[in-house]
Amino acid sequence: MIRKLLVANRGEIARRIFRTCRALGVETVAVHAEMSDLHAAEADAAVVVESFLNIDQIVEAARRSGADAVHPGYGFLSENAGFARAVEAAGLIWIGPTPDAIEAMGDKIRAKKLVSAAGVPVLDGDDTFPLLIKAAAGGGGRGMRVVTDPGTLRSELAGASAEAQSAFGDGTVFTEPYLPQARHVEVQVLGDQHGRIWVAGDRDCSVQRRHQKIVEEAPAPGLPDTVRAELHRHALAAAEAVGYRSAGTVEFLVDGDRIFFLEMNTRLQVEHPVTEAVTGLDLVAWQVAIAEGRALPAEPPPSWGHAIEVRLYAEDPAAGFAPQTGRLRAFDFGAPGIRVDSGVEAGSEVGVRYDAMLAKIIAYGPDRASAIRLLADALRRGVLHGITTNLALLRAILADDDFVAGRVDTALLDRRLAAWTSAGQDHAVRKAALAAALGSAVRTATSAGVQARMPVAWRNVPSQERVRTFRHAGVEHRVTYAGRGGRLESSWLPGVRIESAAADHVILDDHGVRETYRVTVADGGVDVDGPAGSFDLHAVPKFADPAANLAAGSLLASMPGLVVALHVAEGDQVAAGAPIVVLEAMKMQQTLTAPAAGVVSSVAVEVGRQVAAGEVLAVIEESS
């Protein structure tokens, strides 16, 4: 029996594994690289390491802490056969598949040959465009590129290889045909040490950005019974080909009734909660039991109902999914029937060192429609302030007619992104801005010392309304209001009447519908929570800061990140679209290019420098 387990991971997945360990009576050990790591406080013991990729330090942490087993979670070293071998060589129990299985499936090129020999269909061919470039040693969308123009293939291969090298320590990439209208469907498998392998249902993961999943559901909706049966049969064949044990996932592309093997993930998947919800399994508990030598029952439990998971990311979908950093002032998605697996809480600092995922929010219902409704309501009621996230995008996806009807494929997000990121919330934002202005005005008036006895919004020119300007999602809202006859009034939103206003809450009447808004002044702005969700309103100063003026031709950092490549020097002549700087943040790379042809008049950064979003990287004087 395992007595003490070290989790070689951080954040959300470490906390989730600790939760099961507590239920099993297993002591826990965390490893952490930063003192602020939230997961470290939840373990029975914690050991500092320089990196979650340092095998020697993690094995030594297990030895020093008295752990007798290691769970890798997902990401980092979870699919590193060398790590698994080092754990076993140290006399520790490895919670996962055999090192040989990890090695066989970890190289995607080798894996395709292996499963093909077992009769599983694979995608072949690299001479027909569009092509998909993939990293041979990793996943999660890193090192992946879609190439539609043969002329860009060489540069895209180089970019994908660099990103793969950075993320996985292996720059090997390969190509395969790209099927933009296909669905991404995966099958959960579970194998014990006695040769029994379960197929524990399937999941649809087609809604993706940058080839990384953001919505997952179980079971995959709308699959014909024959296709589902074939998926399960091929997944079993792939698992049997490597004598699989522990939890794993076999991923496929489904194009009509055609099925193609993508890869096998020899670890616990990020989206495992939806399978747990419909089967009643605790997959982590079964990983521990299998590692202890327990046998699986003859058959897996049947699936019932439907579960949907969304991934909440610190990123701006309207700005190319640029990573976002900062401090979470508020974070609460707790609601009846909702599971939240998170790596953060109110007060957490979000940086660029790790993946951008903040949390997974999961809903379960007796059918798909019920699960969608429950999850959509949880996202609407959730409170989140301090960082730009993809929350509004997730709400828009759940409300989309194609998604609700189950008409999903891997290109759905690309087709619908413009509509989803401009989802009509303008009226809701404007009401939130009005509440922010009124709450701020009351707070200012009641803390004004000598002037506290004066009416809120009083002016010595009563015909003129007061003005407060707020910015939300790049749009400025110039709110006007006035105090007349002891009441606050505003002509800014026709049909919206102010019922009452206090420093911490405002009540508005919108054409006869009474709505309450919670108002919190924070960090140069106002946080507002109302019927349509949470809004961060940033106060715009009345007078512009002269220091904010930028030189013409300034190239700005589109996201916070690390400068990993610099392609120019002062005095260089560049063409429009020429690469200037490559930034890396949250394991993704972005190349910033010259907006126009010209001369590089200055370079403000060097390789290895950490930059903030909006920081000037270089100045290009446009050619006349």
pLDDT value at position 542? 77
- H-state helical runs in 424-464: 426-446
In this predicted structure, what is the pLDDT of residue 552? Answer: 80
- Residue 550: pLDDT band (50, 70, 90) is confident
Per-residue model confidence (pLDDT) at position 235: 98
395 and 331 share one domain: yes
Lowest mean pLDDT: which of 1-5, 117-121, 148-152? Answer: 148-152
For range 491-512, the mean pLDDT: 96
59: in domain: yes
Domain boundary pick from 421, 455, 476: 421
- What gap in Å lies between CA 325 and CA 306, rounded to an integer? 34
- Predicted local distance difference test score (pLDDT) of residue 545: 54
382 lies in the same domain as 304: yes
The CATH number assigned to the domain holding 90 equals: 3.40.50.20
Could you give the angle at the alpha carbon of 417 between the alpha carbons of 414 and 418, nearest 5°?
Answer: 125
H-state helical runs in 536-610? none
Domain that includes residue 32, residue range: 4-95
418: pLDDT confidence band, cut at 50, 70 and 90? very high
Could you tell me if residue 113 is inside a domain?
Answer: no
Question: Does residue 336 lie within any of the structural domains?
Answer: yes
- CATH number of the domain enclosing 586: 2.40.50.100
pLDDT value, residue 548: 54
Residue 557 covered by a domain: yes
What is the structure's pLDDT at 229?
A: 98
d(C-alpha 79, C-alpha 91), whole Å: 19
Q: How far is CA 92 from CA 58, 84, 120, 383, in A?
A: 12, 10, 34, 42
Closest CA to 617 of 598, 586, 591, 596: 591
* 443 and 417 fall within a common domain: no
- What is the β-pairing status of strands 322-323 and 315-316? antiparallel
For residue 118, being part of any structural domain is answered with no
pLDDT, tens digit (0-9, with 9 covering 90-100), for 177-205: 888 789 999 999 999 999 999 999 999 99
pTM of the model: 0.89
More confident residue, 167 or 104: 104
> Of 395, 421, 447, which one is at a domain's C-terminal end?
421
- Beta carbons within 10 angstroms of residue 461's beta carbon: 6
Share of the chain above pLDDT 70, in %: 95
Q: Are residues 167 and 52 in the same domain?
A: no
Q: 68 or 142, which is more confident?
A: 68
Q: Tell me the mean pLDDT in the region 97-122.
A: 95
Domain harbouring 470, CATH code: 3.30.700.30
Pairwise pLDDT comparison (371 vs 448), residue with the higher score: 371
**What is 136-197 written as a DSSP string?**
TT--TTTT-EEE--GGGHHHHHHHHHHHHHHHHS---EEEEE--TT-EEEEEEEEE-TTS-E
Q: Does residue 586 register a pLDDT over 80?
A: no
Name residue 254's beta-bridge partners.
183, 259
Pair of tokens at residue 428: 């809701």
Is 525 contained in some domain? yes
Same domain, 588 and 521: no
Kindly report which listed range (243-257, 414-428, 506-520) carries the lowest average pLDDT score.
414-428
Q: How many Cβ atoms from other residues are within 10 Å of residue 448's Cβ?
A: 12
Confidence class of residue 455 from pLDDT cuts 50, 70 and 90? Answer: low
Q: What pLDDT, on a 0 to 100 scale, did the predictor assign at position 559?
A: 83
Residue 586: inside a domain: yes
> Are residue 156 and residue 185 in the same domain, yes or no?
no
Above 90 in pLDDT, residue 539? yes
The 10 Å CB-count burial string (b at 16+, else e) for 194-204 is eeebbbbbbbb
Mean pLDDT of 375-383: 97
Contact present, 206 and 251 (Cβ < 8 Å): no
**130 band by pLDDT with thresholds 50, 70 and 90:** confident
- Picking from 394, 421, 448, the residue at the C-terminal end of a domain is 421
What's the confidence (pLDDT) of residue 624? 67
Nearest by Cα to 28 from 17, 13, 37: 17
- Among 122-126, 326-330, 369-373, 565-569, which is the least confidently predicted range? 122-126
Radius of gyration of the chain (CA): 27
Would you tell me how many other CB atoms lie within 10 Å of the CB of residue 485? 6
Q: Say yes or no: 168 and 309 in one domain.
A: no
Does residue 25 register a pLDDT over 70?
A: yes
Residue pair 138/167 in contact by the 8 Å Cβ criterion: yes
For residues 164 and 266, membership in a common domain is answered with: no
The verdict on 333 and 189 lying in the same domain is: yes
Mean pLDDT lowest among 53-62, 239-248, 579-588: 579-588
What was the pLDDT predicted at 353?
85
Tens-place pLDDT, residues 269-295 = 999 999 999 999 999 999 999 999 999
Round to whole Å and give the CA distance between 384 and 586: 20
Domain count, the chain: 5
Same domain, 153 and 186: no
- Residue 564: inside a domain, yes or no? yes
In terms of pLDDT, which residue wins out, 447 or 528? 528
Q: How confident is the model at residue 563 (pLDDT cuts 50, 70, 90)?
A: very high
57: amino acid identity, one letter? Q
The CATH number of whichever domain residue 138 belongs to comes to 3.30.1490.20
**According to the model, what pLDDT value does residue 124 have?**
84
Cα distance between residue 459 and residue 461, in whole Å? 5
Q: Are residues 248 and 217 in the same domain?
A: yes
For the chain, how many residues are written? Answer: 624
Q: What is the mean pLDDT of residues 93-115?
A: 95
Q: Are residues 559 and 602 in the same domain?
A: yes
**What's the rounded Cα separation, in Å, for the pair 260 and 255?**
8
Is the pLDDT score of 589 beyond 60? yes
Looking at every residue in the chain, the average pLDDT score rounds to 92
What integer pLDDT is reported at residue 449 of this predicted model?
Answer: 55
pLDDT for the residue numbered 560: 87
Position 520 scores a pLDDT of 96
